[in-house]
């Protein structure tokens, strides 16, 4: 969902500091740092967005259930890791559903899970039809930041060892799949990333394999006014381009897309296909009664593109991802909020937080 730019700029005026005293720090940084500073100014905001992440404390669902004479395979609930886990989670779902199946296949939902599931179904040699109430660019996936790094999709004390094994398999396949898609066609590229970490020795995590080059960097090695940072490299996805190309791929390979809503499981049971993949994201709460599924709202301000900004950061609760379609500024994780409309005051706070961060940049 979007908010009018004039409304945002007007509301942000009270939060933006007059004069925006960043000229000095920026000039000094330009002279000595390899990191080009982001030009953060309310007047450079070209659009704002808000999306509802489909969060489950117990992790995403990949499971097969009977539905009348059909086999229904669920693939939903990925929280803030939907783009990251898309190929891998869909791989688990298709392996579960396609074994022993013959005939056409239905996929419910045209976000990232629906599209990657449909492509894997086609690669396995089956005809597919996507049924969806919303198509790109009107899906939640279009609002995602696109960093290939799992975030905000489960709670440690709520997942089982079996689920952790599923997650490990999904992450491994996604990581390999995105690597072979790097380039302008799908809008995927590698970028160095700076991330705030807890003080003290860096803790080793199994997920560190997905952050190549991970290491602590001292304050003399970076321009941020903060002591404890890590630096690594990962992939970033320009989600609009990626979803648009996946949609073209599905259609070019003979797939069909039908705009349709489903109010009850009985509506799905009436479909002609005997195998159905449920990729409805947050819609699975109402459609299938999953009370463990909750929205987490994320709001984004997008600045005019800056091709010279070739790094990303996540510092002090604020993250910046540079993409060809704009500089993404984020920093909200609002639990149990169902309103997918960006709030001008919240957007203004995000912009101001990043402006203050950039204003403190110094020579490294």
List pLDDT tens digits, range 78-110: 999 999 999 999 999 999 999 999 999 999 999
| The pLDDT of residue 364 | 53
Q: What is the mean pLDDT of the chain?
A: 90
Band of residue 33 on the pLDDT scale cut at 50, 70, 90: low
Contact 36, 309 (CB under 8 A): yes
pLDDT in tens, 295-332: 999 999 999 999 999 999 999 989 999 999 999 999 99
What mean pLDDT do residues 176-193 have?
A: 98
Give 232-260 pLDDT, tens digit per residue.
Answer: 999 999 999 999 999 999 999 999 999 99
Give 273's Cβ-side CA count (13 Å radius).
24
Q: Are 221 and 234 in contact (CB under 8 A)?
A: no
Which two structure tokens, joined as six digits, stand for 86? 């898309």
d(CA 220, CA 243): 40
Residues of the chain with pLDDT > 70: what percent?
91
Please give the Cα distance from 180 to 186 (Å, whole number).
Answer: 10
> What is residue 8's predicted lDDT score, i.e. its pLDDT?
40
What is the pLDDT, as a whole number, of residue 43? 97
**Predicted local confidence at residue 32, as pLDDT:** 54
More confident residue, 71 or 226: 71
Which among 97, 93, 96, 94 has a CA at the least distance from the CA of 76? 93
pLDDT band (50, 70, 90) for residue 333: very high
Over residues 105-123, the pLDDT tens digits come to 999 999 999 999 999 999 9
Q: What SS3 class is residue 260?
A: coil
Domain ranges of the chain: 5-52+296-359, 58-181+238-291, 192-234
Confidence check: pLDDT of 356 > 80: yes
Torsions phi, psi of 312, nearest 5? -130, 165
Task: Take residue 262 and report the two structure tokens written for it.
Answer: 């489903």
**Separation between Cα atoms, residue 59 and residue 38, nearest integer Å:** 35
Token couple for 3 = 């908010």
- What is this structure's pTM? 0.90
Half-sphere exposure of 210 (CA within 13 A, CB side): 24
Q: Report residue 29's pLDDT band, with 50, 70 and 90 as the boundaries.
A: very low
Task: Determine the pLDDT at residue 305.
Answer: 98
For residues 158 and 89, give the distance between their C-alpha atoms in angstroms, rounded to a whole number: 19
Query: What is the C-alpha separation between 195 and 313, in angstroms, rounded?
Result: 6
**Burial of residue 31 (number of CB atoms within 10 Å: 0-12, 13-18, 19+):** exposed
CA dihedral sign, ordered 281, 285, 289, 290: positive
What kind of architecture, by CATH, is found in domain 58-181+238-291? 3-Layer(aba) Sandwich (3.40)
Contacts for 86 with CB less than 8 Å, ≥ 6 apart:
78, 112, 113, 116, 174
């Amino acid at each position: 969902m979007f908010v009018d730019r004039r409304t945002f700029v007007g509301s942000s005026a009270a939060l933006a500091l007059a004069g925006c005293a960043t000229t000095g720090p920026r000039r000094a940084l330009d002279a000595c740092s390899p990191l080009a500073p982001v030009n953060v100014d309310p007047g450079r905001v070209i659009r704002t967005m808000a999306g509802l992440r489909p969060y489950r404390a117990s992790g995403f669902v990949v499971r097969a259930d009977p539905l009348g004479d059909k086999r229904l395979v669920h693939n939903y609930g990925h929280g803030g890791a939907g783009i990251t886990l898309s190929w891998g989670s869909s791989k688990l779902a298709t392996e579960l559903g396609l074994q022993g199946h013959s005939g056409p296949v239905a996929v419910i939902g045209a976000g990232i899970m629906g599209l990657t599931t449909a492509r894997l179904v086609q690669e396995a040699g089956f005809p597919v039809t996507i049924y969806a109430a919303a198509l790109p660019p009107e899906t939640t996936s279009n609002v995602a930041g696109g960093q290939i790094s799992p975030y905000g999709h489960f709670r440690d004390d709520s997942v089982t060892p079996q689920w952790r094994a599923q997650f490990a398999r999904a992450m491994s396949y996604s990581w390999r799949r995105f690597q072979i898609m790097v380039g302008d066609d799908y809008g995927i590229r590698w970028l160095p990333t700076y991330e705030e970490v807890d003080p003290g020795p860096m803790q080793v995590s199994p997920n560190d394999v997905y952050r190549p080059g991970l290491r602590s960097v001292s304050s003399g090695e970076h321009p941020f006014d903060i002591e404890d940072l890590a630096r690594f490299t990962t992939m970033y996805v320009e989600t609009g381009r990626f979803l648009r190309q996946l949609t073209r791929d599905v259609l070019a390979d003979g797939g069909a897309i039908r705009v349709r809503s489903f109010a009850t499981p009985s509506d799905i049971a009436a479909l002609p296909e005997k195998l159905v993949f449920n990729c409805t994201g947050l819609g699975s709460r109402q459609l299938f009664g999953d009370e463990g599924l909750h929205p987490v709202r994320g709001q984004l301000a997008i600045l005019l593109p800056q091709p010279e900004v070739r790094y990303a950061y996540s510092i002090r609760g604020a993250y910046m991802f540079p993409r060809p379609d704009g500089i993404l500024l984020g920093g909200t994780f609002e639990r149990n909020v169902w309103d997918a409309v960006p709030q001008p005051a919240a957007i203004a706070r995000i912009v101001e937080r990043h402006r203050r961060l950039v204003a403190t940049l110094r020579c490294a």
